[in-house]
Structure 1
Amino acid sequence: MEALNKERRYQMLSLTRLKASMEEQLKQKTVSLELVAKMESTLDDYYRPKLKQFTETTQKALMLLSDKEDAKEDRELETVMLDDINRYQDISIVFQSKIKSYQAKLSDDRVCKSIVPPTSASEPSSSIVHQFTKMKEIEPPTFNGDLTKFFKWKNLFVNLIHNHPPNEMGNTLKLYYLKKSKVGEVEGLLTDFNLSDEGYVSAWDFVLFRFEKHRSIAKAFFRKLQHLEPIKNERNLQKLLDSTNSVIRGLSAAGEEINDTFSRFLAFHTSTKLDSATLKDWEDSLSNTDTYPKFEQLSKFLQCRAFAAEERQREAEFQSGTAPKESRKPPQDRDRDRKSFSATVVRKPKCVLCAQNHYSNQCVDFKAKSPQDRYKIVKKKRLCLICFDSRHGISDCKSKFVCNCGSHHSSLLHFEFKKSYADESAPSEKSSSSAQNSSELRSVEKQSYSCLRNLPNEFVVLPSAIICFSCNGVVGKACVLLDSCSQSTLVSDLFVRKFKLAVQRSQPSSIGGVGKNPINSSSFVSFIVSSRVGDFKLSMDADIVPASSIAYTANFAVPAQLSADIRKYPLADPAWAHERLAIDRVDMIIGGKFYEQIICDESYWVGELKLRRIQFGYTVAGVAPQSIVRSSAFSGCTIQEIDRTLRRFWELEEAKKIAPNRERALASFYHLERSLDKETWAACIKFLVEYREAGHVSLAEPPKNHAYYIPYRPVIREQSSTTPCRVVFIASSHRKGELSLNDGLMRGPVIQRDLFDILISMRSYHFVLCADIKQMYRMVWVHPDDQDRQRIFFRESPSEPVQEYCLKTVTYGTKPASFIATKCLDEVAK
């Protein structure tokens, strides 16, 4: 308490000095913008933070006083402390009102100066009233530390504020605006600079030294160029073009030369962000095959295409009736409507990352992060996963825009999940099964579903590959399909029998197809797969299923030009190198668990087919160039069986098995008997003899399997007048890896009222009785069936045999003792 009072006195001294400083400012006869800025800075940057610290310190002191007894001196001190807080808060309010009045006076003076009388005879005799409106105080351009926006902020600040002559705007006011322009991460950067002419010069030089680094600015623009978001349709062309032009202007301002080579690189980099249709038209529009086009040529092409896309969108909106319709009211009615007034509160958008006034899906910093990091930010701030609004959840979102995958989340949050539901087994089961032989049953229960449908008019080519495999000395090649949506890896039974692979048993898993009976799989094969074109290797387990359940065939002629384009790449499946694609079987389906380890980032479009580089070569997928009369498509997924979920309910409710501890408790008793001095041991014996004479213990029957022995030790409290020696029972004693009695018990809820509520209700009575229940826990009997779990060892003399006793009452030291005793009192009271 003394330390808090000392701190309060120091803070009151600081507040008094600041008050005197502000009063000196108020005594100045001339009111100027510099004076108002200095007063506002003193109030906001110095007085209010000190007032906040003083209020917090006083509140801590008041809390300590409230814990003491109700003394008259303490109550008077509380009143004085509260008066101090109110007095200094009133000073803040008075100075704030003075600042507001000065600002209003300056605004009125500016309006009055706009009325200029004639100065010569040639001018009209009447006063000329210039069309000046009451202007708002200058809002300086803000800067949040984003280097890509530094030159834009600098140019605005220099033209609006920095270049003002001293007779129009002093350096003190310029420093005020300079501090006000810093927001976000750099908000407190200039706090230590005093409001003065010299302070502004130093602060301005510091800002230029801190941020005007051409190498860092150029690097920030290059990073922005690198992370340009690819577009999916022509509606986003203008956005891509504006972002690229913004980078060019920023690099030029940073002193970087935009030469022909860099312009061609910009054209190439921007073209990689285009959608497939726009990229195709761009390539078709190029007639010169000798030199690569410059960015200016691509910019003109994209500008025309973006304009055409916007016109088509407007026309579509007009045709669908979503365009604003012209009013059909008579002219006089429309004029009457124009005379009405309405007030609309526009809610400015706010970015979830940088807190600036733009939408989150337009934030460069937010887009530069990975989808996983964006998802974490949105979840942490509890925003809608579709529109990033904090006022509603995903179930109440009215936005019609969803991800391209069809799920209800923004496309900025889309990423592939690597986790499989089938792998969500309990940690204890994993640890227990790790020591077993790999040939034993695997503790993985799952149910797999597959979808088989006919595609009558088109054929979608699935990514296939020829891989090398090794299984217990057996090596060979296999045709595999890559399925990122499948949560299981499957292998054909014909393939297993053909190579005579080593089969291992597992618990049955049900694989069901739409319209077909489920197929049970109770065995698996362990592989090491490797690439034919590289050093990549991967270990995996595959469930064995009938060959008919993973059937996939493809047989059609590949156009000559398409085949020539595809053969330029090292193919994962050599079947694409022939004039006719012929795939008559699939040996394996590699699921999503290994998909991210196999896939690479590089991909190319060849017509309607997409070539993607993986660890096994280039796969080909997409719509086939010819229509196929009939084909089949397969998709598999795995979910947990419901019996595992149900079983976990009763497993959680089952009582934990407590390890037998008779020998350990007996050894603990012998050690206690030997280690204690005679006086302490005699006091312990006296306490337990009283325990026995009170009938709270009884001799136990021969040992039982479910019996538990509680160790104990004496605790000496010399200052206690009633029980100087008390025996504490240790029901939490256990060996490493075993469970104690308390581990198998539940604590129970708190059923009595809070102490604060009890004290409040007690103060409403004139007379209060306070009583203590002697040996409260020992007044509650334990059921005879449970007394065997409260056994102890005891003898009065080392010459006597050790006897076993059962504690018949609630024992302090057990976890639910407090709840049981309180609950019994509550039931008796009812």
Structure 2
Amino acid sequence: MQAYNTLINRYENKGAIIQSHVRSLFETPKVQTASAMELQKLHHHIMSNVNAFKALEQPVEFWDAWLVTLVCNRMDSATVGERQLQYNKKDLPTFRAIESFLFNRIAAYEAGEINAESLGKKPISRANTKYQERKAFFVKQFDNPKFPSLCLLCNESHKLYACTKFNNLSVPERRDFVRSKQLCYLSLASNHQCRQCKFAACPKCGARHNSKLHLDNVTNETRIQETSVQPTQSTLCTNQTSLHVTNAANEDQVMLATAIVYLNDSKGQRHQCRALLDSGSQVSFISSSCAKRLRLSTTNCHIPISGINTIKTNAQQLEPVIMTSQFGDFSETFNFYVLPSISSNMPSRQINRSCVHIPNSINERLADPSYVTPRTIELLIGADIFFELFSGTSVVIGDRAFAYETKLGWIITEHLPVLHSSEINQINNKSALSLKSLPVTSLFSKKITSQVKEEEAAESQFQKTVSRDSTGRFVVRLPFKQHPTALGNSKAMAEKRFLTIERKLATHKSLALDYHAFMKEYLDMGHMNPVSQEALEDQPVYYLPHHAVLKADSLTTKTRVVFDASAVTTSGLSLNDIMCRGPTIQQPLVNIILRFRLHHIVLTADIMKMYRQIRVADEDCNMQRILYRTSPSDPLQEFHLLTVTYGTKAAPFLATRCLAELAHTCQNLSGSKDQKR
């Protein structure tokens, strides 16, 4: 409690926090060179402190005079001169006007309208400087207007994509025509090949073809020119059906979180909008069509936007907009910036929900009930709003599928396999499907991989065999996918490895002292014991080689003894080869980090010798034998390692699974919900 009060006294000292932000403002670095980056740094530094003052309920609205003076004093001379030209008045401009000026100035630099190098070190003076106005033009190569290109379909003077006759064709007919004329699949032109074309990919599916060649009933088209499938022997007659056979690549796509929200228009009426939640964006955006539909007015504030691959654009800020959840229990005012469009339809294809079980309590409050259906995105909720919406509660609802509780309702994210078709064969009514020795079910059902089976086997064995001894420690069995009799002899290999490390220790006295101290501690703590003479030798045995690892920067143990469970026996197999890895128990790292950031104060702790706190059942200790002696003059002695051993494949699973089991066992204790998460 004393530690908690100390934290409160330090981090909730409002006066000290205010003074630190005042000092930060007075220590604002001066802009040396006029550039977008330098002005962005200045703006970010000023606004971060100003926003902090607002959060601390300080009267920032009355501070225009000294804030404006401070900002102008930190600008470079060229920017100050430009500001003076724009605000040639006796009255001091407001802080909001200065902020708007900085935004426009940064946007101008980003757009390339100002040559930073030409501004030099001297202030601009238009009164005594002769300059020549320069104009920049974007040059695009057009066909010669005297000889306009003719449409290849109707011989009229227009492009193929503008041809009415071409647009009246069905998509398969358009594709056949383009293929027969050997046209580019992207631009529909004849003077270059598709691989040389710089046209954008299809906005509907992302494949490299023109949108007029997009087939709606194909999940994800081939990214190269399609090839037909040759007919084979056996046939399966279909009736009123259309089927596409694809060769799928093992890739994953992440289904992003979406939500239905309501925005108030200029008259205060609510309109439904679909939003994409993206913490990777610093600000939030709205599509221009949505802003126009809601008749929302814009401000004079512009900001430069830099996206992936440093693609740059500019966005104009809207007047503050009221956003409400569809359940009516959340309403806040937020700032959005206008972009021509946010993204393509989300998700990119229809999602099958049969493999995901959503509890009724979550299903009734889904932020986007139709999240599996591709639809338009009108809003992008960025990090400025994103983290305010999360409650911190998450639920696993399927294989790599998660539900997160927010103020907008429950949002769903999921990893999905992406199908890249390299061969497509379409079968219509009264057609036949060629299936040479291929089960029909294999076309539709995803096979369970050996890794998934292995994880399920490890979990099943853990649940059946886990127990606790009289001291309360967990006792676990090692999860094997093959019987230990598959292993060959390993004693000779382990003995050879030990003699090698023993010779090394003889020349490194300090390392030898640490090594033997580590092994003595292992023995004193009861984590290993000598093998008795009566031990049955007719059972499978595996000897773990071991060696020293020196970690000079470690805060705890500088020298560790590492056990090698991947050392092969005479059969060519190692202990790790016949052991199940087990599933990952903890949530994805992103979930952990997000939840960590939701709290003002976070306490962390380390479990000392975590693996060695868990006992291995006596039946499996023969799989964890080692050879060891303290002096070369002593005979080699055999020991059993009695605890979960780092270096074995299943060790991470067994350790974290015991933590989860402990949380489940103690779930009725006070605070157990937080412990389990």
TM-score by length of 2: 0.37
Higher helix share: 1
TM-score by length of 1: 0.31
Higher relative contact order (CA 8 A, sep 6+): 2
Which is greater in Rg? 1
